[in-house]
Amino acid sequence: MNKPTIHHRRSQYRLLGVVGQGQFGRVFCASHRHSGQIVALKCLEHERFSTHNFLRELRFLLGLQHPNIVPCYALEHTSTARYLVMDYAEGGTLRTLLESNCGLNLGQGLKLLLDILAGLGHAHGQGIVHCDIKPENILINVHPYGWTARLSDFGIARLLQDSSRLAGGATGSPAYMAPERFYGEYSPASDVYAVGILLYEILVGSRPFAGTPGELMAAHLNEVLTIPLSVPPPLGKVLTKSLRKLPGQRFHTAEEMSTAVQQVMSQLSASTLHNLLHRLPAASACPPVIILQQSLDQPVNKVIPSFSPTGIAWAAGPKLTWILLNEASKATILREPIVDVWGCPDRYLIATDQGLYHWKPGSVARQVLSLPPHCQVVVEPRGDWFATFSPTGSKGATLRFWKSADLGAPPVIATLPRIPRSYLLVPDRRHLVILTAKTARPGEATPSPGMILRLYNRRGQYLGSWSLPVLLEKLVLSYRDYRLLGTDPLNPYCVVIVDLKPFRIRRLYLGFLPVVLAALPWGFALANPEGAISLFDNYGESVGQIVWPTPVTITSISALDAQTLVVGTWDSRHGLLHWLDLKRMGLDLVF
């Protein structure tokens, strides 16, 4: 007898990575296969999450429609799991925000708290008590000038109509549980208590009580709250009332606590509200250890590591110069200024306004492609293929993909609307990204700040577009696949790190204006107008600062290898290339 054929329906979503792990399953970042929309897929595994609980959380989510609550759109089923399709939070969780050097100030922290209280007020109005308020369950969406907080994970939420009965044990997170929660009782005041713990953590950088679950229970029940002197007194009063041991002595509703916080914000000065929370200590400053210098007759804007382990090339005007350490430099001069240069395993590719050239040191640059006016070029890191992007008429543009080994073959062509102010980037060997500023929608006087990211594969197939709620300039690609780094003109003392797989956006507060950005094998480097170079690892943690004895103007930074930087400096008449030995500088970095 023939066995019946079982057809498994293909998921509508393409997984981009795991972004969270809860007690009931994992949360994935995913994109819709046709629209490219980014969503969160919350996996609720059968063996960990009963059908009853699954349906109860789904009912809560479908009944809660509020800007500060993460909504559920649909369900996805597989043979082993069920997925809730939900809005995606590109900023991660409140825990991520609190632990990062994002530059969160007091006003922004209190605004996030008001977001949380607004979402809770709506849930309480629908008769639902969340019962698990903590930073990991507060998701963060990025917007051009800050962040928005949204409630998630109603997996152990309870209905107010059932509050007279015990909830079956003290489920939740002990560090954020109100005293009555340890006895299975709950009410809106229980959520208010948890928000009080969040407020304490936002203001102080740590929770008021710590220890094992048993020690936390004893502290919540009996320990007297201590408010640090660093907390403004009006906010200390809000903290004290929200963290009373008895529910009847707290704020009775989320709205009441929200009103109290807003009144305090109106009393505080603008300078106090702009004070940074949890400012990180300054990075240790080290003088540069210079192992070689090369004189320059023009400013260098780009240094490119060579396919030779000890060589580099640099572009200045119409000249590309190549040097091996301790040997005389060699140069090639083109007829037009160099726009960009890429170092491939066996050659350099040079783009000018008029053409694309192949060049090897000691030979003559050979033009391999003529370029139309206003054409942009981007090259795959190994040089196997490159793409050109050029306008065609007033409303269109053409994207062409070329094989470097067979330039005589016709390119793969994709047509798209004309896109102003575009950046072309190759995040890995198979894909190309076009980033553009948002344009005004019909009826809009001005577009909302942000960018559109369009993704193509090397065969010219359009894979979808994503909306980035930030503006980016001076974009560079990280050594990590799918990671971009750029400045934010709306927040000039920050840089923005964008991960495409999974999709994440992080702001990194610098305290200075970044004028030069560079990717390094283990992180990135940023130069300020005075010539100091701040170094960060791949997690955004500062590992030190390079400070010249006298101020210099830095025009370029590049990594020759993991421990050698090549830095270009320039004054009004001459410049230098400096080879720096990072290993000998005492940085907080293990080589």
How far, rounded to the nearest angstrom, does the alpha carbon of residue 12 sit from its chain's CA centroid? 25
Left, alpha or beta for 109 (phi > 0: left; psi -120 to 50: alpha)?
Answer: alpha
Active site residue 537: no
Burial class (CB in 10 A: 0-12, 13-18, 19+), 364: exposed
Q: Which residues sit opposite 69 in a β-bridge?
A: 151
Burial class (CB in 10 A: 0-12, 13-18, 19+), 589: middle
Residue 589's H or E segment, with its range, is none
Q: How far is CA 22 from CA 18, 43, 100, 111, 453, in A?
A: 11, 9, 21, 26, 30
Task: For residues 121 and 191, give the distance between their C-alpha atoms in angstroms, rounded to a whole number.
Answer: 10
Task: For residues 434 and 451, give the distance between their C-alpha atoms in angstroms, rounded to a whole number.
Answer: 10
Q: Return the closest-CA partner of residue 261 out of 115, 67, 99.
A: 115
Is residue 311 within 8 A of residue 326, CB to CB? The reply is no
Dihedral in degrees, nearest 10, Cα atoms 363, 367, 373, 376: -70
Q: Which residues sit opposite 519 in a β-bridge?
A: 524
178 CB-near residues (< 8 Å, 6+ apart): 186, 189, 190, 193, 194, 220, 247
How, if at all, do strands 431-437 and 422-425 pair? antiparallel
Among the options 132, 153, 488, 499, which is catalytic?
A: 132
Is residue 153 within 8 A of residue 60, CB to CB? The reply is no
Percent helix, strand and coil across the chain, each to the nearest 5 = 20, 40, 40
Q: Return the closest-CA partner of residue 454 out of 471, 466, 472.
A: 466
Task: For residues 57 and 55, give the distance between their C-alpha atoms in angstroms, rounded to a whole number.
Answer: 6
Could you write out the three-class secondary structure of 143-178?
Answer: ECCEEEEEECCCCCCEEHHHCCCCCCCCCCCHHHCC
How far, rounded to the nearest angstrom, does the alpha carbon of residue 510 sit from its chain's CA centroid? 15
Q: How far is CA 73 from CA 42, 44, 58, 70, in A?
A: 12, 15, 10, 10
- Looking at the chain, how many residues does it have? 591
Q: Return the closest-CA partner of residue 434 out of 469, 382, 397, 402.
A: 397
> Catalytic positions, please?
132
